[in-house]
Amino acid sequence: MKTNIIPAVRLTFITLLFFSGVYPAVIWGVGQLMPNKGKGEVISVNGKKYYANIGQTFTEDKYFWSRPSAVDYNAAGSGGSNKGPSNPEYLQLVQARIDTFLVHSPGIAKKDIPVELVTASGSGLDPDITAKAALIQVKRIAMIRKVQEETIQKIVAQNTEGPLFGLFGPEKINVLKLNLALDDL
């Protein structure tokens, strides 16, 4: 018994030291080498600060809409709704989002609405949408802002980020940056 307890206590002590001291120090050090010292991407506009890596709510028709959030974009409590695709309450919520989108975007067919515009992400804080989700909103925004659709499409193209290293993940667009670019028109 003594031959098993002493190595177990040593291993516990070494693991405790590593995961409560060494590992956090290494991660903190790597964070200090990053832009903004690991505090996220901060954008300042007219004296107001926004975090570009946290989803923001945009509900006005003159802006691109973000992906819905199950936590109302509260970064202190990220999380999904945990309701499955067969849950009646969840299905009603998704249908309400579809109906709202169709009311604000006449001429769009229900089947053409990208899924990320009516379903929340797992964290509820996703700051990005796909190019398809942005392009389907161009007509509405161009009409409200009285701007050519081509101008809005160029802004979408300028704000589209490719996959990581050209390989990993889809193209994405940060909704906050896109809407700030719209305001700069």
Do 45 and 98 lie in a common domain? yes
Q: Identify the CA nearest to 115 among candidates 141, 136, 142.
A: 136
Whole-angstrom distance, CA of residue 106 vs CA of residue 175: 21
Do 47 and 34 lie in a common domain? no
Do 2 and 91 lie in a common domain? no
Do 74 and 14 lie in a common domain? no
Task: Examine the pLDDT at 156 and tell me if it is beyond 90.
Answer: yes
Give the residue numbers spanning the domain of 142: 40-183
CB 81 within 8 A of CB 90: yes
Whole-angstrom distance, CA of residue 143 vs CA of residue 116: 23
Do 44 and 91 lie in a common domain? yes
Do 20 and 82 lie in a common domain? no
Task: Examine the pLDDT at 18 and tell me if it is beyond 90.
Answer: yes
Domain total in the chain: 2
Task: Examine the pLDDT at 151 and tell me if it is beyond 80.
Answer: yes
Do 92 and 137 lie in a common domain? yes
DSSP secondary structure string for all residues of 11-23: HHHHHHHIIIIIH
Residues near 50 by beta carbon (within 8 Å), at least 6 away in sequence: 42, 43, 44, 56, 176
What's the DSSP call for residue 174? E
Mean predicted lDDT score pLDDT of the chain: 88
Task: Examine the pLDDT at 84 and tell me if it is beyond 90.
Answer: no
Do 14 and 33 lie in a common domain? yes
Do 5 and 72 lie in a common domain? no
Q: Identify the CA nearest to 114 among candidates 62, 68, 159.
A: 68
Whole-angstrom distance, CA of residue 141 vs CA of residue 144: 5
Query: 3-class SS at 128?
Result: strand
Do 28 and 118 lie in a common domain? no
pLDDT band at 35 (very low <50, low <70, confident <90, very high): confident
Do 53 and 127 lie in a common domain? yes
Do 143 and 101 lie in a common domain? yes
Per-residue model confidence (pLDDT) at position 115 = 92
Write out pLDDT tens, residues 89-139.
Answer: 999 999 999 999 999 988 899 999 999 999 988 787 889 999 999 999 999
pTM: predicted TM-score of the whole model, two decimal places: 0.78
Angle between helices 138-145 and 149-158 (to 10 degrees): 120
